[in-house]
Amino acid sequence: MAIAEWREQLKRGEVSARELVDEQLDRINQIDPTMHAFLDVTGDRARADADRIDEARSAGQTLPPLAGVPIAIKDNLCTKGITTTCSSRMLEDFVPPYESTVTERLWNSGAILIGKTNLDEFAMGSSTETSAFGATFNPWDLSRVPGGSSGGSAAAVASGECLAALGSDTGGSIRQPASFCGVVGLKPTYGRVSRWGLIAFASSLDQVGPFTNSVADSAEILQVIAGADPKDSTCLNAAVPDYSASLFDSVKGLRVGLIKECFDHEGLASEVKESVLAAAVQLESLGAEITEVSCPRFNDGIATYYVIAPSEASANLARYDGVKYGYRSEGAENLASMTARSRAEGFGSEVQRRILIGTYALSAGYVDAFYKKAQQVRTLIRGDFENAYKKVDVLLTPTSPTTAFKAGDHVDDPLSMYLSDLLTIPANLAGLPAISLPCGFDEKGLPIGLQLIGNVLDEKRLLSVAHQFEQVADVKAIHPKGHFIP
Mean pLDDT of 25-37: 97
pLDDT of residue 397 exceeding 50: yes
pLDDT of residue 157 exceeding 60: yes
Q: Measured between alpha carbons, how far is 331 from 399 in angstroms, rounded to an integer?
A: 47
What's the gap between Cα 115 and its chain centre? 16
Residue 484 confidence class, pLDDT cut points 50, 70, 90: very low
Q: Is residue 392 part of a domain?
A: no
Model confidence pLDDT, tens digit, residues 50-94: 999 999 999 999 999 999 999 999 999 999 999 999 999 999 999
Nearest one of 397, 403, 481 to 447, comparing CA atoms:
403
Q: What is the pLDDT of residue 485?
A: 47
- Rounded to two decimals, what is the model's pTM? 0.96
In DSSP terms, 256 is beta-bridged to 290, 394
Q: Measured between alpha carbons, how far is 112 from 25 in angstroms, rounded to an integer?
A: 12
pLDDT of residue 475 exceeding 90: no
CA 34-451-106 angle, to 5 degrees, is 60
Question: When comparing pLDDT for 411 and 115, which is higher?
Answer: 115
CA 355-356-358 angle, to 5 degrees, is 65
Q: What is the pLDDT of residue 476?
A: 67
Of these residues, 87, 100, 153, 173, which one is catalytic?
173
- Cβ–Cβ < 8 Å for 114, 244: no
Nearest one of 377, 326, 333, 331 to 351, comparing CA atoms:
326
pLDDT of residue 413 exceeding 90: no
List phi, psi (to 5°) of 300.
Answer: -80, -5
pLDDT of residue 421 exceeding 90: yes
- Cβ–Cβ < 8 Å for 343, 406: no
Q: Within 267-333, where are the H helices? A: 270-285, 301-316
Q: Catalytic annotation on 342?
A: no
Model confidence pLDDT, tens digit, residues 294-349: 999 999 999 999 999 999 999 999 999 999 889 999 988 999 999 999 999 999 99
pLDDT of residue 486 exceeding 50: no
pLDDT of residue 483 exceeding 50: no
Q: What is the pLDDT of residue 480?
A: 56
- State whether the Cα torsion 138-144-147-152 is positive or negative: positive
Q: Is residue 159 part of a domain?
A: yes
Q: What is the CA radius of gyration of the chain?
A: 21
Which three-class secondary structure state does DSSP give residue 186?
strand
Q: Is residue 406 part of a domain?
A: yes
User: How many other β-carbons are positioned within 10 Å of the β-carbon of residue 443?
Assistant: 8
Q: Measured between alpha carbons, how far is 153 from 169 in angstroms, rounded to an integer?
A: 12
Q: What is the pLDDT of residue 419?
A: 87
CA 444-450-451 angle, to 5 degrees, is 145
Q: Is residue 97 part of a domain?
A: yes
Question: Residue 167's domain is classified under what CATH number?
Answer: 3.90.1300.10
Q: What is the pLDDT of residue 1?
A: 86
- Cβ–Cβ < 8 Å for 358, 371: no
Q: What is the pLDDT of residue 264?
A: 87
Model confidence pLDDT, tens digit, residues 176-204: 999 999 999 999 999 999 999 999 999 99
Q: Is residue 326 part of a domain?
A: no
pLDDT of residue 478 exceeding 90: no
Q: What is the pLDDT of residue 477?
A: 62
Which three-class secondary structure state does DSSP give residue 254?
coil
**Cα distances (Å, whole numbers) of residue 228 to 26, 119, 238:** 37, 27, 7
Q: Which of 18-27, 324-333, 344-353, 474-483 has the lowest mean pLDDT?
A: 474-483
Q: How many domains is the chain partitioned into structurally?
A: 1
Q: Catalytic annotation on 74?
A: yes
Phi-psi region of 429 (alpha: psi -120 to 50; beta: other; left: phi over 0): alpha
Q: What is the pLDDT of residue 400?
A: 98
Q: Catalytic annotation on 149?
A: yes
Q: What is the pLDDT of residue 325?
A: 84
Of these residues, 74, 116, 187, 460, which one is catalytic?
74
CA 278-185-353 angle, to 5 degrees, is 110
Of these residues, 126, 149, 179, 218, which one is catalytic?
149
Q: Which domain holds residue 49?
A: 3-251+400-478
Q: Is residue 157 part of a domain?
A: yes
- Cβ–Cβ < 8 Å for 35, 142: yes
Which three-class secondary structure state does DSSP give residue 143?
coil
Tally of residues, the chain: 486
The pLDDT > 90 percentage for the chain reads 93
Look up residue 62 and give its DSSP letter: P
Q: Measured between alpha carbons, how far is 486 from 477 in angstroms, rounded to an integer?
A: 17
**Cα distances (Å, whole numbers) of residue 345 to 89, 320, 340, 351:** 8, 12, 9, 11
Q: Is residue 132 part of a domain?
A: yes
Q: Is residue 62 part of a domain?
A: yes
Q: Pairing between strand 434-441 and 447-453? A: antiparallel
Mean pLDDT of 117-142: 97
- State whether the Cα torsion 64-65-70-74 is positive or negative: negative
- Summary mean pLDDT of the chain: 95
The pLDDT > 70 percentage for the chain reads 98
Q: What is the pLDDT of residue 177?
A: 98
Q: Measured between alpha carbons, how far is 106 from 79 in angstroms, rounded to an integer?
A: 11
